[in-house]
A and B are shown apart, each in its own frame.
Chain A
Amino acid sequence: MYKIVKKRYFTESVIEYVIEAPLVTRRCLPGQFVILRVDGDGERIPLTIADYDRERGLVTVLVQSVGYSTMKLAQKNQGDFVEDFAGPLGGHTDLSGFKSVLLVAGGIGSAVILPQAKNRRGAGFRTDAVLGARTAALLPYEDELRTAADNLVVVTDDGSTGGKGFVTDAVKRLIESGRKYDAALAVGSMPMMRAVSELTKIYGIYTLVSMNTIMVDGTGMCGCCRLTVGGEVKYACVDGPEFDGHAVDFDEAINRAAFYKHTERAHICRLTAAAK
């Protein structure tokens, strides 16, 4: 059992959990993920590590409650326990070797780019960041990113804060204004990462994306998280989760991510009915 020592709402459905898992913090690095199970009958949910505190043994994850299991997690409060919390899994983000990097996040993807912004500042590199979401309420860690990045551009689809538009519009403006980037890291929904990758390909900017595929075990056993990268089958849990965005077959990955959408809908109906 793993204790939720802090729960913070960004919106009703975007929630930060700080979980006590000292063993996970021993070796974890930004970009890696954990597998969480809410209760004894729970699904194994992969979640990217947003932050960690090795001294206190705490791991932070940012979760958007969109499915049955993440909604069950949302019913847990500070001081409650989750059944399982295993990790760290997958490889960490590796932007070493790149001087000038553009970080791009959609919604809760901000949790993944924030540690990169902090690290790069610590290492003395200049970093630009773009943060986008549908609307102003869905921009977690905006303040933290503003402090960590040298230049943060915020955009929303509805223009409720920052500029109106998509992250790709902001990325394009930055590049066309003359900024030079050796690499980009794009983290968000798969369509968002595809759009950013298509754009950066035009400018020849190497782009890492974090592939949040469906997983079961998350430890290189079942093959559920497979995707095609550069014509080869790769496994997000052990080969990723980060891949060259210009080589990922996004059409296939987006189709695979939607495999259970019908089952999921029926499940959520039952959960919300039970809550009422």
Chain B
Amino acid sequence: MSESMTRQKMREQPPEIRKRNFKEVALGFDGETAKIEAARCLNCKNARCVSGCPVGMNIPAFIDLIKRGDTAAAFLEIQKNNGLPGICGRVCPQEEQCERLCVRNNPNAGGAVSIGALERYAADFAAENRIEDTAVTQKNKFRVAVVGSGPAGLTVAGELAANGCAVTVFEAFHKPGGVLAYGIPEFRLPKALVQSETDALARLGVSIRTNVIIGKTISLEDLSAEYDAIFIGTGAGLPLFLSIPGENLNGVYSANEFLTRVNLMRAYEKDAATPVFVGKKVAVVGAGNVAMDAARTALRMGAEVCIVYRRSRAEMPARLDEIRHAEEEGVVFRFLTAPTEILGEGGYVSGMKCMKMRLGEPDRKGRKRPIPIEGGEYVLECDEVIVALGTSPNPIIRLSTDIIKFNPNGTIAVDENFRTSKARIYAAGDAVTGAATVILAMGNGKAAARAIIGDLENAAPRV
């Protein structure tokens, strides 16, 4: 095996082809490439990458196993810390986490080891070869309810089931997965993968009950009477809008709504029961991962798409890969542009008034503040606007209970171990942090699961 200096790249569907289909863009490593990339890992004694992983995977250990050709063992090594590696390998911002801390992360060393791609490779290998962690026996020590089946909830459910708890997950929608099902598009995270991860939980004895809205169908109070502990991972809720005139015209979507129609309700399929409106020219407002997802989805539905962002490329919060993919596929970026009004004709979007901006001094968060340029107003031609500016926490539980405390911004108040103000009720994920990443929700979910098990065992009568 030849030793490679430089970071191996995953194969991808060519932009000209993929921008017209919903199949996955990144195709993963083949066995050969995976081994070459794994051999680049220096197996550092003090592996800094591990400290950059929110779930603390033993990264050098699993990469070493891939290098030796034992991918099944690599998968089982990953599973010790990460119940959803196929998902994390695809959607984690590795460049800001594990890979950022890799000692090879500089051009002279060929670039960081491609940890995410290797993780994905091991997970996909395990799925194809039906490798499962079957060591767990259900002991049903405690009964725990998990509210929400997104990344936080699934992680907690997996951790608790592996530790002998009887877990019931309550999901408000008809399908489990939360943002993995409704938010992240098929071409970035195939839904079959989400399904196989939830199936794996079922095999661990986790029961997933869809169509149950905690706070409505069952109150949090009733739930706490029935279960030894409750974990709340209800995720992000209502979308934020721009608060400019015209936002309620037909043809203005939140990214949540647009993506839900297309992903969860499969509106991209011919004859889908749920409609979605796709204009000829779509303007997506925002510059995070969700904005990239919405833009690339609209593109695949046949629209001309531009991203409108009031700062410049350097300040974009999206992952570099997502930005690159969007650019390659033909999404146009209009930087230093702030929408001021959405124009309508006959009740439908007919254009968007924008203001040209320049960057001023950094604000408190260190990002340069956009300042309007005098006389910089113009009308952007578009017939659809998708607003991707983030979300506020889901309000249903907050409006239905006073047994747990909330922060002024609507997030659930928790301590450093993700305990809420009420004993035996825990929370993590976007419901606690506000809109963040899948892996952060998982990392915090994992810590919450540890606290749940610890607290329950401490409180349980000794036999």
Contact = CB atoms under 8 A, between A and B. Distances in A.
A37 B265 CA distance: 11
- Output the residue of B249, B254, B273 with the most chain A CB within 10 A: B273
B6 interface: no
A216 B250 contact: no
B271 interface: yes
Contacts of A256: 248, 250
B347 interface: yes
A181 to B, nearest CB: 29
Nearest to A68: B273
A228 interface: yes
Nearest to A215: B257
Nearest to A88: B216
B218 A23 contact: yes
B245 to A, nearest CB: 11
A85 B172 CA distance: 11
Interface string B226-243: 000000000011110100
B174 interface: yes
Given A83-B174, A223-B257, A238-B395, A41 B239 contact: no
Interface string A228-243: 1000010100100000
Contact of B238 (A41, A238, A258): A238
Interface in B419-452: none
A94 B216 CA distance: 17
Interface stretch (B40-48, B79-87, B207-215, B361-369): B207-215
Interface in B258-286: 260-261, 265-266, 271-275, 277
A188 B275 CA distance: 24
Contacts of A27: 216-219
B211 A85 contact: yes
B350 interface: no
B271 to A, nearest CB: 7
A221 to B, nearest CB: 6
B174 A220 contact: no
Contact of A37 (B174, B247, B248): B174
A74 interface: no
Contacts of B248: 226-228, 233, 252, 256
B459 interface: no
Contacts of B266: 41
Q: A interface, how many residues as a size bin?
A: 35 or more
Contacts of A44: 174, 265, 274
B217 A26 contact: yes
A89 B217 CA distance: 8
Interface of A: 23-24, 26-27, 37, 41-44, 68-69, 72, 83-89, 216-217, 219-224, 226-228, 233, 235, 238, 252, 255-256, 258-260, 263-264, 267, 270
Interface string B157-190: 0000000000000001110000000100000000
Given A84-B210, A86-B217, A235-B238, A222 B256 contact: yes
A1 to B, nearest CB: 10
B250 A219 contact: no
A42 B237 CA distance: 23
Nearest to B344: A255
Given A216-B265, A220-B395, A220-B396, A86 B254 contact: no
Minimum-distance CB pairs A-B, first 8 = A86-B211, A222-B257, A255-B347, A223-B254, A43-B273, A263-B275, A259-B250, A223-B239
A43 B217 contact: no
B219 A84 contact: no
Contacts of A222: 239, 254, 256-257, 260
Contacts of A270: 271
Given A44-B265, A260-B275, A219 B396 contact: yes
A233 B274 CA distance: 24
A221 B237 contact: yes
B275 A264 contact: yes
- Output the residue of B173, B217, B218, B254 with the most chain A CB within 10 A: B217
Contacts of A221: 182, 236-238, 256, 260, 394
Contacts of B219: 27
A46 to B, nearest CB: 13
Contacts of A264: 275
B237 A220 contact: yes
10 contacts: A86-B217, A88-B216, A219-B173, A221-B260, A222-B257, A222-B260, A235-B238, A263-B275, A264-B275, A270-B271
A85 B218 CA distance: 14
A223 B396 CA distance: 14
A238 B273 CA distance: 24
A85 to B, nearest CB: 7
A220 B238 contact: yes
Contacts of A69: 273
Contacts of B394: 219-221
Given A222-B254, A222-B257, A222-B260, 20 more contacts: A24-B217, A26-B217, A41-B266, A41-B272, A44-B274, A83-B174, A85-B211, A88-B216, A89-B213, A219-B213, A219-B396, A220-B238, A221-B394, A223-B239, A233-B248, A235-B238, A259-B250, A259-B277, A260-B275, A264-B275
